[in-house]
Chains A and B, each alone.
Chain A
Amino acid sequence: KAGVTQTPRYLIKTRGQQVTLSCSPISGHRSVSWYQQTPGQGLQFLFEYFSETQRNKGNFPGRFSGRQFSNSRSEMNVSTLELGDSALYLCASSLETGQGSIMNTEAFFGQGTRLTVV
């Protein structure tokens, strides 16, 4: 069974540009969450999508956005990049239980996209 796939693995962008990151969840998983990881702030929750709808949102500015497609693949976009956006961006997918709740306790992470803003 393939794991969570994130592309690209590494990215260098210039301040002011925008970037799109992609995440393909484990087959059958319909929930996708995005996190930003930095040495200073640790792992911070960005947002979660389920069935193409945003279910939860963290405390990030509107420059950070995401979407989910009908096949559960997800993308996140960061516009007007700042130096402080340099981080490892991780996505995690979770399985929906029969009762309809998402068991985020069993989230599987991808290897992340390392974004460097120069």
Chain B
Amino acid sequence: EPEVTQTPSHQVTQMGQEVILRCVPISNHLYFYWYRQILGQKVEFLVSFYNNEISEKSEIFDDQFSVERPDGSNFTLKIRSTKLEDSAMYFCASTKQGTDTEAFFGQGTRLTVV
């Protein structure tokens, strides 16, 4: 069964460092998303990406964040200068056609900023 894969599963980084989280969405899906979940809190939307551009982003997704689809399969989230409060589980998701279709999530990357 097709699935969304994320790497790495866990990343520890020092405050101020850049991190890149990687995702391979389901191959015939057209919409891609990043969400995050701070420990004990709700899953929060960060950004959606369609047709090689950002279609929507949240207030959390400031200039420190960027997304890219560098090739036909990978979808990345970059945090330029990490802060302690960026520590969270980051989830990638994809859908075939945006709304009205099921969203599939990866297993997540646990980011710990020290």
Q: Do A and B come from one complex?
A: no
